[in-house]
């Protein structure tokens, strides 16, 4: 196991603080995008054994609608914004100011609305991380996926799996007008990004 990816409790607390700041910036961007309706907060940062990740993330084997942004390069990673069908449709309808679609196929404009949401949230989050770690992070264009949540998270975890038996998982809570939403965002850093984050945490000590 690569011990550089294991965190002490104190370092995990500092990591939580750092990622909470990034989440706060993402939340501010999200509020602007949704006319103040939707906000997010970081609940927990955990080092989780790979085999427990889907359970910890409460993904089960259900189909989800997701927007994925990837970061290439040494400081890489994957950011996944995930919704169940109902919540994804509700968001698209609210953003497009129209009734929720009952068509089983998502239209191009609905997909575009969700992609833009992922892009805004992801770019705000990654801009904050860029400042913390001192490396410019440029994400891929967002893409829309409908798939099993656990299989998408599994793919995102591949780089971590090559050098560690654990993964860093951030649990985030979304709210709309004070009501909890069934949305999730997962940020999965590559080992190189994880090292940069650990260095940023160490600098703050």
Partner 1 sequence: MSPSAVAQEKKHAPVNMGQHVFGQAPDRFTSVLGSCIGVAFYHPRTHTGAFVHIVLPESLGRSGPEGKFADTAIPCLIRLFQQQGIPIREIVAKIAGGASMFNSKGPIQIGEANEAAVREKLAEAKIPILGEHLQGAKGRRVEFDCSTGILRVEIAGQKPVEL
- Cα–Cα dist 7/47, whole Å: 8
Rank residues 29 and 157 by Cβ distance to partner 1 and give the closer one.
157
SS3 sequence of the chain: CCHHHCCCHHHHHHHHHHHHHHHHHHHHHHHHHCCCCEEEEEEEEEEEEHHHHHHHCCCCCCEEEEEEEEECCCCCEEEEEEECHHHHHHHHHHHHCCCCCCCCCCCHHHHHHHHHHHHHHHHHHHHHHHHHHCCCCCECCCEEEEEEHHHHHHHHCHHHHHHCCEEEEEEEEEEECCEEECEEEEEEECHHHHHHHHHHHHHHC
Under the binding rule (CB under 8 A), the answer on residue 58 touching partner 1 is: no
Stretch that binds partner 1, among 15-23, 43-51, 111-119, 196-204 (CB under 8 A): 43-51
**The one among 34, 130, 155, 171 contacting partner 1 by CB under 8 A:** 155
Site for partner 1 in 157-176 (CB under 8 A): 157-158, 161-163, 165
- Encoded one letter per residue, x for contact with partner 1 by CB under 8 A and - for no contact, window 114-153 reads -----------------------------x-xxxx-xxxx
- The minimum distance between CB 151 and partner 1, in angstroms, equals 2
Should residue 108 be labelled a site residue for partner 1 when binding is judged by CB under 8 A?
A: no
**What value, to the nearest 5°, has the Cα angle with vertex 135 and ends 66 and 171?**
35
90 near partner 1 (CB under 8 A) = no
Q: How far is the CB of 27 from partner 1 (least distance, A)?
A: 25
Nearer to partner 1, 72 or 204 (CB): 72
Pick between residue 121 and residue 201 the one whose CB is nearest to partner 1. Answer: 121
Give the residue, chosen from 4, 17, 58, 63, that forms a contact with partner 1 under the rule CB under 8 A: 63
CB nearer to partner 1: give 51 or 99. 51
């Amino acid at each position: 196991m690569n011990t550089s990816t294991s965190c002490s409790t104190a370092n995990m607390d500092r990591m939580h603080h750092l990622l909470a700041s990034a989440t706060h910036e993402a939340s501010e961007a999200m509020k602007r995008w949704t006319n103040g309706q939707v906000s997010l907060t970081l609940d927990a940062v955990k080092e989780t054994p790979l085999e427990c990740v889907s359970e910890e993330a409460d993904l089960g084997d259900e189909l989800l609608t997701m927007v994925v942004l990837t970061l290439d390069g040494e400081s890489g990673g994957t950011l996944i914004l995930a919704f169940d069908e109902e919540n994804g449709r509700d968001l698209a309808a609210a953003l497009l100011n129209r009734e929720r679609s009952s068509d089983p196929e998502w239209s191009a404009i609905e997909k575009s609305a969700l992609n833009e949401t992922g892009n805004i949230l992801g770019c705000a989050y990654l801009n904050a991380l860029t400042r913390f770690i001192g490396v410019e992070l440029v994400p891929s264009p967002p893409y829309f996926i409908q798939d099993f949540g656990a299989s998408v998270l599994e793919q995102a975890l591949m780089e971590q799996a090559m050098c560690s038996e654990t993964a860093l998982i951030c649990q985030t809570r979304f709210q709309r007008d004070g009501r909890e939403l069934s949305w999730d965002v997962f940020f999965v850093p590559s080992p190189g990004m994880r090292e940069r984050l650990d260095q940023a945490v160490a600098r703050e000590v």
